[in-house]
Amino acid sequence: MPSYIHALATGNPPHTRSQAEAAAFMQRITTLPDGLKSRLPAIYDATAIDRRYSAVEDYAKDDPADFALYPPDWSLRPAPSTQARNRAYREAVVPLTEDVARRALADANLDPSDVTHLVFASCTGFFAPGPDIELVKRLGLPATTKRTLVGFMGCYAAFNALRVADGFVRADPDAVVLVVCAELCTLHFQVDERLETAVVNALFADGAAAAVVTGREARGTLAYLDNRTSLDDDSMGDMTWEIGDTGFLMGLSSRVPKVIAKNLPAYLDGLLDPHGLTAEDVTTWSIHPGGRAIVEKALDVIGLPPEAAADSFGVLRDYGNMSSATILFVLKRVLDRHRAALASGDPGVGYDVSLAFGPGLTIEGALLRGVE
């Protein structure tokens, strides 16, 4: 029997700027070379992002005297330590995840006391007792709530969290699993002269999302039918995420879209064939918007028009890449549209294929179906 996603809630930190404003902020940094500064507006514009959110209030300031994380001048040096960035993560992630978790439970018409399992995914900060324990206490979850942390897996971690939730539900049909993904990527922005760093700074953003998963079939939910993972054997260095002295450091190769394109056809066959399905049977495609080129390349490989990934492009435009939380933002649009269609007497969402890509390089994904 499948498990079912009953609710999805999303949220962001309060500080926000348009992509043009973000590029202008970066251009004021005195330690960046002029040649790179001149390219920043074009780099930021090419992302297809309109606006992003951040837990770092400095990015919304125009006077460095008001900075809280960075030193009070436009050199932004010395760079904040990993300890300082992780402290800021702890301060911001707890209230953000409490909010999305409360709203997800309310949307599922469940009380916190109903929760039996909590799965928390994040790769942008660490502390113990961790955010899972903070949520148990703040939400009033039972002290017996079974907690699982999915850590440092990157953009595809929501699928690992959903797989864990599905396993809990299959093992115990009465389980009620709260899944939370939270990423504060902008805490780890770096200032250096590399083009790769400028691209990373132009893409990533902060956000959190929560899902409620149970074994109870209900109209207006998303049935979690299957999942699949695929690890490429020749791309270990194309996307990396490691701990440095001044925050977490990302490596991002321009090869990523090509590697995804090479592996995606076989991946989709492996996900769909056991269910007697082909790509033509899929009505919605929820593709993690890791970047504009990644979504476009995936569509090209599958043979789909841009409108097939309207939800993915919409989340990219409105929020940027929020690592693991991003695909849940996309799926919330799918779930909302499914419910709206049913409410108006129209057919809901049929089969949905959800995909995300990350270090390894790894493709993770799931096959979902709207319940009518």
Where does the pLDDT of residue 33 fall: very low under 50, low under 70, confident under 90, or very high at 90 and above?
Answer: very high
Give residue 234's pLDDT: 87
Taking the CA atoms of 14, 239, 147 and 84 in sequence, report the sign of the dihedral they define.
negative
Q: Helix crossing, 157-171 with 326-343: angle to 10°? A: 60
191: left (phi over 0), alpha (psi -120 to 50) or beta: beta
Give the CATH number of domain 222-370.
3.40.47.10
Q: Report the SS3 class of residue 129.
A: coil
Cβ proximity of 348 and 372 under 8 Å: yes
Asked if the model's pLDDT at residue 303 lies above 90, the reply is yes
* Closest CA relative to residue 294, chosen from 243, 347, 257: 257
State pLDDT tens for residues 184-221.
Answer: 999 999 999 999 999 999 999 999 999 999 999 999 99
Tokens at residue 83, please? Answer: 């300890």
Strand order in the sheet with 146-151: 146-151, 117-122, 176-184, 206-214, 3-11, 222-231, 362-370, 351-358, 282-287
Average pLDDT over residues 168-182: 98
Strand partners, 231: 362
Alpha-helix runs per DSSP H in 123-255 = 131-139, 157-171, 195-203
Nearest to 12 by CA among 331, 325, 247, 250: 325
Q: Which amino acid is at 314?
A: G
Q: Count CA atoms within 13 Å of residue 40 on its CB side.
A: 27
Q: Has residue 341 got a pLDDT over 90?
A: yes
Q: What is the pTM of this model?
A: 0.98
Neighbours of 356 (CB within 10 A): 27
Residue 233 has pLDDT above 90, yes or no: no
Q: What is the DSSP string of 290-342?
A: S-HHHHHHHHHHHT--GGGGHHHHHHHHHH-B-GGGHHHHHHHHHHHHHHHHH
The answer to whether the CB of 124 falls within 8 A of the CB of 188 is yes
User: What pLDDT sits at residue 281?
Assistant: 98
Rounded distance between C-alpha atoms, residue 263 and residue 271, angstroms: 13
pLDDT given at position 239:
94
The secondary element (H helix, E strand) that includes residue 61 is none
Q: List helix spans (H) across 11-145.
A: 19-27, 34-45, 82-107, 131-139
Distance CA 36, CA 42 (A): 11
Answer positive or negative: Cα dihedral of 340, 343, 344, 350: positive
Closest CA to 104 of 371, 328, 337: 328
Evaluate if residue 1 carries a pLDDT over 90: no
Q: What are the extents of the domains in the chain?
A: 222-370
Per-residue pLDDT, averaged over 4-30, amounts to 98
* pLDDT cut 70: percent of the chain above it: 100
| Model pLDDT for residues 98-146, shown as the tens digit of each residue | 999 999 999 999 999 999 999 999 999 999 999 999 999 999 999 999 9
